[in-house]
A = this chain, B = another copy of it.
Amino acid sequence: MSDAPVTWAVRLEYDGGGYVGWQKQANGVSIQGLLEEAASRIAGGRPVPSITAGRTDAGVHAGGQVIQLDFPSGFDRDARQVRDGINFHLKPHPIVVLDAALAAPGWNARFSAIRRRYRYRILNRPARPALDAGQVWHVKRPLDAQAMHEGAQHLLGRHDFSSFRAASCQANSPMRTLDRLDVARNGDIVSIEADARSFLHHQVRNMVGSLQLVGWGAWTPADTRTALEACDRSKAGPTAPPDGLALIGVDYPDDPFAAT
């Protein structure tokens, strides 16, 4: 019998509001810590290490996060048992497994991913959020979503995104290819959707912080290009708060959940 782990892919939804973020840390409760603990409970208490498609920060949410769980060899459950078993042990945390699937040989949640999709939601009205509290960025000044969309288009393509990169970013290169950055208004909500193979740390929140300047007229749409070309974090807008951000999807060449 092989000692190789039995690798599962799980798709997660969570409200990141009360946690230190995805990654395990000494100073608080993490999504990763809770998920690994719940997974361990259905694996006879043995450790179940995880790999994420995208490390979300404290307060950032997920609607379609993908995680790799390496169960100990001999672990034998069906998809429903994995999903429902982990969900049982995750109660009452606002973290749930939406789908679970046995992974194909060689699949890696992080390195096999070819696209991540984030959504950022701004609540644009005078009154603070009640129903969406903790899941939107509240901006009182009226925003012109069409101007924001125009500004966003200047950021598409392969560029040095140093102007939108956190100082703490650990990536080797500031080069990234942004495939989509759409801004649209629906009532009081201004939604920004961003697609790329991968993002720098805080890249989406930093782009949103600049687009918000375009939205209320402090910047012209073309100022986003000037900020990008400066390759200097101090030339771009502020970092938007985590509340409005959610990782909503991760794509792989072969969808691990196609059969679920």
Contacts and interface: CB of A to CB of B under 8 A. Distances in A.
A144 interface: no
Interface in A109-145: 125-131, 133, 135
A96 B13 contact: no
Number of copies: 2
Contact of A127 (B96, B126, B127): B96
A14 interface: yes
A251 interface: no
A94 B63 contact: no
Interface in A83-106: 83-84, 87, 91, 94-98
A94 B14 contact: no
Q: How large is the interface on A (under 10, 10 to 19, 20 to 34, 35 or more residues)?
A: 20 to 34
A130 B98 CA distance: 10
Contacts of A127: 13, 83, 87, 96-98
A61 interface: yes
B15 A131 contact: yes
A120 to B, nearest CB: 14
Given A15-B131, A131-B13, A135-B131, A98 B84 contact: no
A130 to B, nearest CB: 4
A167 B189 CA distance: 39
A260 to B, nearest CB: 10
A106 to B, nearest CB: 27
A127 B91 CA distance: 11
A125 B80 CA distance: 12
Interface string A179-212: 0000000000000000000000000000000000
A156 to B, nearest CB: 27
B131 A63 contact: yes
29 contacts: A13-B127, A13-B130, A13-B131, A14-B130, A14-B131, A15-B131, A15-B133, A61-B131, A63-B131, A80-B126, A83-B126, A83-B127, A84-B126, A87-B127, A87-B128, A91-B128, A94-B129, A94-B130, A94-B131, A94-B133, A95-B130, A96-B127, A96-B128, A96-B130, A97-B127, A98-B125, A98-B127, A131-B135, A131-B246
| 8 closest A-B pairs by CB | A96-B127, A94-B130, A13-B130, A96-B130, A98-B127, A14-B130, A94-B133, A15-B131
